[in-house]
Amino acid sequence: MTYHHIDDEGFWEHGPESLDYQRLMAELIGVQLARFPLGPAEDGETPFASVLKMPPGYELWRHKHDCYRFEAIIMGSLTTGDGQVLTAGHVMQTVPHELYGPYFVGEEGCITVEIFSRRAGMPTIIDETTDPRAVDFLRDLMNDSDPERQDAARISMEGSGIEL
C-alpha cells in the first residue's frame, strides 16, 4: 500500500510519463494535476483518479470527456455557470460526452478528485460544443516556440475535428 499527501514533495508530478503532456497543459492554464492509475497505467481501459488543484478565481472552461466521470470537491468551492455554489463534500457525475462547466473557483481555491472510468476517455474533447477559448488557447500553443508545448497542443487536439 502507498500513501500520498497533497503537500508531499513531488505530489503534483505524480502520474505516468505518457501523460506528461496533460500535466504540462494543466500548468499552462494555471492548475496543478496528479494522475493515479487504478490498474495498468498504459491500458486504455484502466480507470484513473485525478487530483486537480485550481487557484482562487480560476475559471474552468466548458468541456467534456469520452468516459464516465465522478468528481468530488475535497477543499474549497466552485460556483457553477448557473450560480450554484459547490463546496467540500459535493460530488458531480457526468456520462460520456456530457458537457460540464464553466466553473468559477472561490477565493480559497479548490481541490477536486476526479475518477475517470477509463484512461482512453480522460483527454478533454475539443469540438464545436466546448468553450471556444480552449480552441484559441491550443491554436496559440501550436505557434509557441517551445516544441514540447506544440506537441502537447497537437496531442490534445488529436481526433477533435478542429483545424489548427
Q: Provide the pLDDT for residue 164.
A: 60
Residue 2 located in a structural domain: no
Residue 30 located in a structural domain: yes
Residue 137 located in a structural domain: no
Give the count of alpha carbons within 13 A of 14, CB side only.
20
DSSP letters along 36-66, please? EESS-TT-TT--EEEEEEE-TT-EEPPBB-S
**CA nearest neighbour of 114 among 40, 162, 63:** 63
Q: Provide the pLDDT for residue 139.
A: 84
Query: Can you tell me the distance from the alpha carbon of 73 to that of 49, in angstroms, rounded to the nearest whole number?
Result: 13
Q: What is the CA radius of gyration of the chain?
A: 15
Which residue range forms the structural domain that includes residue 71? 11-125
Residue 154 located in a structural domain: no
3-state secondary structure 91-141: EEEECCCCCECCEEEEEEEEEEEEEECCHHHCCCECCCCCCHHHHHHHHHH
Query: Can you tell me the distance from the alpha carbon of 124 to that of 29, in angstroms, rounded to the nearest whole number?
Result: 13
Spans in the chain with pLDDT lower than 50? none
Looking at residue 100, which CATH number applies to its domain? 2.60.120.10
Q: Provide the pLDDT for residue 149.
A: 86
- Can you give the pTM of this predicted structure? 0.92
Amino acid at the residue 21:
Y
Residue 138 located in a structural domain: no
Q: Provide the pLDDT for residue 159.
A: 65
Q: Provide the pLDDT for residue 128.
A: 84
Q: How is residue 122 written as a grid cell?
A: 480522460
Q: Provide the pLDDT for residue 28.
A: 92
Count of structural domains, the chain: 1
Give the count of alpha carbons within 13 A of 7, CB side only.
0
Query: Can you tell me the distance from the alpha carbon of 130 to that of 157, in angstroms, rounded to the nearest whole number?
Result: 12
